Amino acid sequence: MDFGLHRAAERLRNASRVAVVTGAGVSAASGVPTFRGADGLWSNFRVEELATPEAFARDPRLVWNWYEWRRRLVAGCRPNRAHEVLAAWSRRYPQFTLITQNVDGLHERAGTRNVVRFHGSLWELSCWDRCAGSPERWRDETVPFVELPPRCPHCGGLARPGVVWFGEPIDPRVSARAITALDCDVCLVVGTSAVVYPAAGLADEARNRGALTIEINPEPTDATPRFDLVLQGPAEEFLDRLEAELSSGSRLSSSQ
Ligand code: NAD
């Protein structure tokens, strides 16, 4: 395990282009439940039954109740050590992109630069009818909403969460930014079960382009065998240890 950590630190020290892909696990230590962990249920609904356009069309109030619950929960959470280390790297590397599947906004709250929000944000809304008067998405951090479901301020129709639901495409401009970032020296994938595509395929693409790929996760995933290095453990611990290794260069070379 320590060998993997040293090797990862060595490659990170020599890297100038770094891409990091994060999933729900990076926010677990902040108290935000993951989808596929033991807490991945809400009022006996599976997330796949709530995070879809069909579910919203059927029962917008139910779906909004779930998002309202998540917005309240995240509003009371703070970035953890994993977010902090990644934020520091975003300021240190000449080329750094953080591609996150998370919608909680904790990377931005930690001060991370160049965040690509692959699946949108809990803190944005859009018009369900895509009315001509509304922007594609707008920010609204009201917790709780005065009226639930909230309304589009432009047409008075239903507003929807500004997130990408199961079955919806990723905005091509967002994908393009993510794909460009995969031309990198090191690609780290942190805290994702790697089952939701296309995000799950990003590390494979980075590897095809010559990057060293590293996974950080306490559990093996379907993608684990395809990584060059696997650090099996919590993100907040391993990113902290990597940062400690990076800031003690001489110790690193003597331990090789
Ligand atoms: P997931 O729930 O499918 O998987 C979470 C992964 O995190 C698991 O592999 C688990 O082993 C790992 N994990 C748990 N604790 C960890 C820790 N301390 N450190 C590192 N890893 C840890 O999450 P996913 O792969 O991101 O799922 C995809 C979808 O879930 C995304 O679309 C995302 O939008 C959504 N989601 C987002 C949030 C959030 O914004 N915080 C929370 C739940 C789900």
Report pLDDT for 154. Answer: 94
The CA–CA distances, whole Å, from 226 to 5, 100, 235 equal 17, 20, 19
Report pLDDT for 197. Answer: 82
Report pLDDT for 44. Answer: 75
Report pLDDT for 38. Answer: 64
Average pLDDT over residues 208-217: 97
Task: Report whether pLDDT(58) > 80.
Answer: yes
Confidence of residue 256 (pLDDT cuts 50, 70, 90): very low
Task: Report whether pLDDT(250) > 80.
Answer: no
Which of residues 138 and 42 earns the better pLDDT score? 138
CB-ligand 1 contact for 118 (6 Å cutoff): no
Nearest CA-CA partner of 67 in 83, 82, 45:
45
The CA–CA distances, whole Å, from 252 to 7, 13, 240 equal 9, 10, 15
Average pLDDT over residues 112-132: 97
Is residue 184 within 8 Å of residue 207, measured between CB atoms? no
Report pLDDT for 42. Answer: 75
Q: Measure 45 CA to ligand 1 centroid, in angstroms.
A: 17
Tell which atom from ligand 1 comes closest to the C-alpha of 221. 9
CB-ligand 1 contact for 30 (6 Å cutoff): no
What's the half-sphere exposure (Cβ side, CA atoms, 13 Å) at 139? 3
Report pLDDT for 248. Answer: 84
Q: Measure 23 CA to ligand 1 centroid, in angstroms.
A: 4
- For tokens 């093996």, name the residue: 220
Report pLDDT for 249. Answer: 67
Tell which atom from ligand 1 comes closest to the C-alpha of 103. 40
Which of residues 252 and 199 earns the better pLDDT score? 199
CB-ligand 1 contact for 218 (6 Å cutoff): yes
Tell which atom from ligand 1 comes closest to the C-alpha of 29. 18
Confidence of residue 169 (pLDDT cuts 50, 70, 90): very high
Report pLDDT for 212. Answer: 97
Report pLDDT for 255. Answer: 36
Residue with CA at minimum distance from ligand 1 atom 13 = 25
| Residue percentage of the chain with pLDDT more than 90 | 85
Which of residues 188 and 2 earns the better pLDDT score? 188
Task: Report whether pLDDT(89) > 70.
Answer: yes
Catalytic residue list: 119
pTM of the model: 0.94
Q: And the tokens for 178? A: 């993510």
* 174-205 per-position pLDDT tens digit: 999 999 999 999 999 999 988 878 888 999 99
Tell which atom from ligand 1 comes closest to the C-alpha of 74. 41
Report pLDDT for 17. Answer: 98
Nearest CA-CA partner of 190 in 8, 42, 13:
8
CB-ligand 1 contact for 25 (6 Å cutoff): yes
CB-ligand 1 contact for 165 (6 Å cutoff): no
Task: Report whether pLDDT(124) > 50.
Answer: yes
What is the overall mean pLDDT for the chain? 93
CB-ligand 1 contact for 21 (6 Å cutoff): no
Phi, psi of 204, rounded to the nearest 5 degrees:
-60, -40
Pocket of ligand 1, candidates 72, 193, 237: which has the most ligand atoms within 8 Å of its Cβ, to mutate? Answer: 193
Report pLDDT for 26. Answer: 98
* 219-246 per-position pLDDT tens digit: 999 999 999 999 999 999 999 999 999 9
Report pLDDT for 253. Answer: 40
